[in-house]
Structure 1
Amino acid sequence: MTRIDYIDDPDAPTANSVVPSTTAIVTNNEGHILLVRRRDNNLWALPGGGMELGESITETAVREVKEETGLTVDITGLVGTYTNPNHVMAYTNGEVRQQFSLCFTTRLIGGTLAIDDESTDIAWTSPTTLDQLSIHPSMRLRITHYLQHRPHPYLG
């Protein structure tokens, strides 16, 4: 299933669902950020995804990192909340999802890098090379907020 992300686009379709979701900042000892190339839109992104019944939002982040990257992490903090009603994702099945995402910082515990069926590639990325990658503006915003080492989480 493919998707199209719309942000601040007056021609975007109207949202018909909202799903609590997460993204996670995973870094290595060199300060590189782990990114996955999403199969549904071919853009680089932080690992993450939708919450499932029976789990907490932090459990969602840990599960999604494991599923999408093969790595095990602990949650260490909150980068921010991202709930822009003018950011919607239209899926080929007819769902148009309004953004509702929390972005967490993590501590890498272990595991072996591996991509799943939602991704085509995975890479440790230096913050100095992020401008060279195709990254959706909403994902770039999360990374920027993380790199700013803000004293408080972004609330938006």
Structure 2
Amino acid sequence: MARIEHFNNPNAPKPNSIVVAVTLFVQDGQGRVLLIQRTDNGLWALPGGAQDFGEYIAETAVRETREETGIEVEVTGVVGIYTNPSHVVEYSDGEVRQQFSICFRGRYLSGDPTTSEESSSVRWVAQDHLDQLSIHPSMRLRVNHGFQWRPEPYVG
């Protein structure tokens, strides 16, 4: 299913849903962050997705990271909560979702980057190489906050 990210766009369609979603910021031993290139829009992003029934929210972050990247992680904290009402995602099925995402911090346990139906590329990316990738501003905010090691989670 295709998706279009609308960010601070006064002509964006009005949202018709809010879904609990997560992303996960995890670094390897060299300090690089794990990113995927999404198959639905081609943008680079932290791994993540929507919570399933019967899951604790941290389990969602672990599952989505495994499914999208082949990497096993454990959740160690919270980077932030992202709820900007000026960020909506329009899907080709008519859903228009207002952003609601919890970005967790994780610890790498095992595995090698592996693509999936949702990720055409998976790689560990050094902070000084982020500007070379096409990353949505909302996702880049999460990545930046992850690298900052803020004393308290971002709430916004």
So what's the TM-score if we normalise by structure 1? 0.98
1:9-20 alignment runs, 5 A limit: 9-20=9-20
Q: Please give the secondary structure, in 2, of the residue aligned with 1:26.
A: strand
Mapped pair 1:124 → 2:124: yes
Measured after TM superposition, the shift of residue 147 of structure 1 is 1.4
CA offsets, 1:47-96, max 9 Å, x none?
Answer: 00000111011110000000001111100010000011111000000000
Mapped to 2, the partners of 1:140 and 1:37 lie a distance apart of 13
Question: C-alpha root-mean-square deviation of aligned residues, in Å?
Answer: 0.7
Alignment of 1:37-116 (within 5 A): 37-116=37-116
Q: Which runs of 5+ in 2 are unaligned?
A: none
Alpha-carbon distance in structure 1 between the residues aligned to 2:145 and 2:26: 14
TM-score (structure 2 length as normaliser):
0.98
Q: SS of the counterpart of 2:144?
A: helix
Pairwise CA distance, 1:148:
1.6
1:25 aligns with 25
- Amino acid in the other structure paired with 2:153: P
Measure, in 1, the Cα distance between the counterparts of 2:81 and 2:74. 18
Overall identity of the aligned pairs, in %: 54
Q: Which amino acid aligns with 1:71?
A: I
The alpha-carbon deviation at position 111 of structure 1 amounts to 2.1
Equivalenced residue count is 156
Aligned residue identity for 1:13: P
List runs of 5+ in structure 1 lacking aligned partners: none
Does the residue aligned with 1:106 lie in a helix, a strand or coil? strand
CA distance in 2, matches of 1:43, 1:37: 5
Runs of 4+ in 1 over 3 A off after TM superposition: none
CA distance in 1, matches of 2:107, 2:9: 36
User: Structure 2: how far apart are the matches of 1:111 and 1:148?
Assistant: 25
